[in-house]
Structures are given as structure tokens and as C-alpha cells.
Copies of this chain bind each other. A is one copy, B any other.
Amino acid sequence: MQGIWVTELQTPHLALSCRVKKTLHWEKTPYQELSIVDTEAFGRMLLLDDVIQTTVKDEFVYHEMIAHVPLNTHPHPREVLVIGGGDGGAIREIIKHASVTRAVLVEIDARVVATAREYLPEIACGLDDTRVEIRFEDGIDHVRRFEAQYDVIIVDSTDPVGPAAGLFTREFYQNVFKALKPDGLFVAQTESPFFNAEFIRRVYHDIASVFPITRIYLATIPTYPGGLWTFSLGSKEYDPLAVDPARIPRLPTRYYSPEVHRAAFILPPFVQEILHSEEEKEKI
């Protein structure tokens, strides 16, 4: 391993390293350390506090799956909120949906958006769409202030530590419920079943205590620890499993498809087991 490498300590015991072609940007924002490096394996890469957030090579998996699954579960999503997601990738996918009239991006750190616009134009390219509103504020405060406003809310956050921890609490899910219209739904990225099983179980039960429909789905993102990644969805009315694949529009996507929509909810037994707490197992 000679030369220049960027290394993420994915867990205290696991590290992923990529050879660096060029370090393009580094700064300390009011919220975090932000860097952009160009890597041989994944192209340009955005890191926050030394954790890989997205890369040009594999971002399509994450952004397509966090956006199109909820937006195709809702039969006519008009107003969509993204919390976090300052790179613009989720917004780029959302505005592919003709039904969407308004996409609000609530990102706490204005420097993430500015830096993505400069160095990751293929990801940030949707941010100038006329339907997009960008607000630099705390997502937790934002959902507290709204009632029956959004059709879909997407929590595109960093890992559940530090400022993002508040995006993974029962109280936050209650405020998301309130900010959604009576038939609204939300989705959040919720970490790895190989390394964060207890976390996924807690989030699942917290969402299920607030929303009538709770589902987990999977996608494989090479730069995230373990590759296999969960998304957790809470819905007031529409079940993502009840969507007729034939009714899903064929959008230009590279990972998501109407067939992948359904397959993503097929959970291997070890992931199903995570969702059932010890108490529930005792009851069975």
C-alpha cells in the first residue's frame, strides 16, 4: 500500500482504503470536516468527518433506492422533503418524477451543498431545478414546524452519531408523522445488518410504534461498511409491497427498476430475525 490513500475506519475494527489520485478540497465547516478526494476505485468521493458519504461510482445505488422506492409507493407524490442529502443526489432522482411539484432540501450545512455543486456536478445537477427549494436549517426543527405538509419525507442523513442522532428517535418519527399528509410516508437510511443489528431493530420498532405500516428494504452500496444496507420505511396508508410493478413508470435508472423495487423487500432470514426482539421471540 505505497502512495497516497484515504482510509475510513468503518467500524473500530474494519477499514476501507482507496488510492487517491488527487485531494481536491478540505475544510472545517461550522458542523464538520468536509473533504473531496478523487480516487482510482470510486472516482470523486465526499467525506464528512472522514466517513465516506457518496462517490461518483456507486452513488446511483443509494440515491435511486432512497428516492424511487418511496416515490413509487405513493401513487401521486407532489411535495417531497429531503432531510440531509446536501450532495443533491436524492433531489436529482426525485425530480425525475413528473408528479412532483415541490422538492424541499433541508440541509444543516450550506458548505456541503456548495462543495457538491463545485466538485460533484453529476450528483448535484438537480439542485437548480425550478421545483427545488434549499433551506439551510436543522431537519429536526423543520419537521416540528409543519403539519400535513408533505407526501414523502426522505431522511438522507449521516450515521446516527453526533448531530444526526436526533434523526433516529421515536420523537422525531412522531414529528415526521405529523409533518406528513394523511396518506404520507417516509424513508430513512438505517445502516448495516451485519454491523448494526441492534440499531436496526430499535429503529424498526420505534417506527412501528408510530406508523401503521413499517417495512425494511435492502441495497448493496460498495463504499458502506459490509456493503449490504438497510432502508426503513414508515407509511400511513400505502404499502410498498402492494405496488403493482406494471404501474411503476420506467425512469432512467441503473440500480432501481420495478422488479428491483419488489426484490429489495425480500429479506434473507438473518435480516428478518433482526427485526424480532428477544421479547417477541419469547412470546412466539
Contact = CB atoms under 8 A, between A and B. Distances in A.
Interface residues of A, number: 43
Contact of A227 (B11, B57, B222, B262): B222
Contact of A259 (B11, B227, B266): B266
Nearest to A9: B1
Contacts of A58: 194
A197 to B, nearest CB: 12
A14 B7 contact: no
Given A257-B269, A266-B260, A7 B13 contact: no
Interface string A112-148: 0000000000000000000000000000000000000
A15 B5 contact: yes
A266 to B, nearest CB: 4
Interface in A193-223: 194-195, 218, 220-222
A99 interface: no
B270 A194 contact: no
